[in-house]
Chains A and B, each alone.
Chain A
Amino acid sequence: MERFVETFLKLSVITSIWPKILDGMLITVELGIVVVISGLALGLVLALVRTAQIRPVNAIIVVCVDVLRAVPPLVMVLIVYFGLPNVGLTLPSFAVLWLVLALVLAAFAEEIFWAGILSVRRGQWDAARSTGLSFIETLAFVVLPQTVRMVLPPLVNRTIAITKNTALGTVIGVPELLNQATTQVSFLSNATPLTMAAIGYLIIFVPVVLFGNWLEQRYAFRKA
């Protein structure tokens, strides 16, 4: 038991490195916020573009989305970070992680939004168009509000799952939470920083999960 505490919960380590862990948490939160915002926005835009039913455009979207969903994010992070400089494009590691995770989230979000849009019954379109609303107005005021309510649970789950991939930043040196922790582990030959990282992730993501639950309840349809 003593050895366990010594390895995972060493007090002297905690007191000396907590500012670094805090720095890492800050980067993780920053990354998470920009990934969620840009990923969900891009996913929604792609789903909306798809409603225009322009065949070649839709084909491109479907192929890109499938690729992004199939390739592990770690592989893409490595390709972009180590590959792009060879063609003369060097991006900072933060930007690489942001780009990859935002694109992956956008791909999943597009599929979820699209499925939601398709599941709104045709009668809703008929009714709105029959009163003179345009295609765009029908989408904005009738179809999307129903879509968002329907897709909220899968969207929240997927968003949390992908945002947790910010930990991949550790392999390309983004000083996020896990990277800070592993750096300290190699300095101190002690696993306590990893415990601290795990607690850090809990502190970041438990409120996100709770917020997601609240959101789902808040926007569920009123049932009679």
Chain B
Amino acid sequence: MSVESPILDIINLRKSFGGNEILKGIDLAVHAGETVFIIGPSGSGKSTLLRCCNRLEIPDSGTVRVDGIDLGHAATDINAMRRRIGMVFQSFNLYPHMKAIDNITLALRRVSRKSRPEADELAMAALAQVGLAEKRNAYPAELSGGQQQRIAIARALALEPKVMLFDEPTSALDPELVGSVLAVMSDMRRAGMTMVVVSHEMRFARDAADRIVFMDHGVIVEQGAPGELFAGAQHARTRAFVSQLER
């Protein structure tokens, strides 16, 4: 593997639901340490694209490679690969019957085969990274939305992923809680994590993104650095969408 090869490589990806083509041949390469924001109107296929990147959705055709390994290949152990692909969801999806720390250690113990002390140690490190070490014994229902989302990030981080997928990580949060989650994401970016983020946080995208990808109707309309895309989008659709968000 050369240094140049992308961590996440999506080639001609297609996906339909009941005759409705959601992804119409997507090509996207994300390199190590890059933060890519995917924006676009609802129904444009952003979330489906993200879910195809760890095969929560099985694409109809096309290829997704993570760290050079084709996820769709018959010989690929998808569960082993998913450890390398962290995912954070809009609705947090913490396990409500488990304490924060057990939410994090479950996959460490079952998938990574760590002993309980080892898993606890890694989980505490991840909790510290998101600033919630003191909440180790809290149940999800005892935490704010922002705290739950940070625990969810820690759950993915503890598995030491090569790439993190964020599916509208702040859309379900009260406005005053958004900042704490974005701060954690900024820290991760500084630490060199590769991130693909579906988000409507345009101000954050402008500051944190290396590249912004605009999707509409299942295709990538255009992409570029935040400055380029916000100031001088090539396509009318992109301009219309961006101006709408900035209003």
Binding site for B on A (CB under 8 A): 121, 123-124, 126-134, 137, 141-142, 145-146, 149, 221-224
Contacts and interface: CB of A to CB of B under 8 A. Distances in A.
B150 to A, nearest CB: 15
B244 interface: no
A127 B82 CA distance: 11
Contacts of B2: none
Contacts of A137: 110-111
A133 B79 contact: yes
B205 interface: no
Given A132-B79, A133-B107, A224-B142, A127 B93 contact: yes
B96 interface: yes
| Interface of chain A: mostly helix, strand, loop or mixed | helix
B38 to A, nearest CB: 17
A32 B114 CA distance: 42
Contacts of A145: 97
Interface in B68-88: 79-83, 85-87
A117 to B, nearest CB: 14
B159 interface: yes
A116 to B, nearest CB: 13
Given A126-B56, A130-B87, A137-B111, 9 more contacts: A126-B89, A127-B89, A131-B83, A132-B82, A132-B107, A132-B159, A141-B106, A145-B97, A221-B97
B209 interface: no
Nearest to B99: A222
| Interface of chain B: mostly helix, strand, loop or mixed | mixed
Interface string B118-161: 00000000000000000000010111000000001001100100
Contacts of A224: 139, 141-143
A127 B152 contact: yes
A136 to B, nearest CB: 10
Interface in B209-234: none
B95 interface: yes
B51 to A, nearest CB: 8
Contacts of A131: 82-83, 106-107, 111, 155-156, 159
Select the residue from A123, A127, A221 with max chain B CB neighbours within 10 A.
Answer: A127
Interface range for B: 20 to 34
B238 interface: no
Nearest to B152: A127
A191 B91 CA distance: 63
Contact of B97 (A127, A130, A146, A223): A146
Given A222-B139, A223-B141, A133 B152 contact: no
A123 B93 contact: yes
B96 A221 contact: yes
Nearest to B108: A131
A117 B94 CA distance: 17
Contact of B142 (A141, A142, A222): A222
A141 B97 CA distance: 10
A224 to B, nearest CB: 4
Q: Which A-B residue pairs are the 4 nearest by beta carbons?
A: A131-B107, A127-B93, A132-B111, A123-B93
Nearest to B109: A141
A123 B91 contact: yes
A59 B240 CA distance: 51
Select the residue from A121, A127, A130, A146 with max chain B CB neighbours within 10 A.
Answer: A130
Contacts of B56: 126, 129-130
A127 B89 CA distance: 8
B48 interface: no
Nearest to A127: B93
B230 to A, nearest CB: 31
Contact of A130 (B85, B94, B112, B139): B85
B54 interface: yes
Contacts of A222: 139, 141-142
A76 to B, nearest CB: 37
10 contacts: A127-B155, A130-B85, A131-B83, A132-B111, A132-B112, A133-B106, A133-B107, A133-B110, A133-B111, A221-B141
Nearest to A141: B106
Contacts of B110: 133, 137, 141
A121 to B, nearest CB: 8
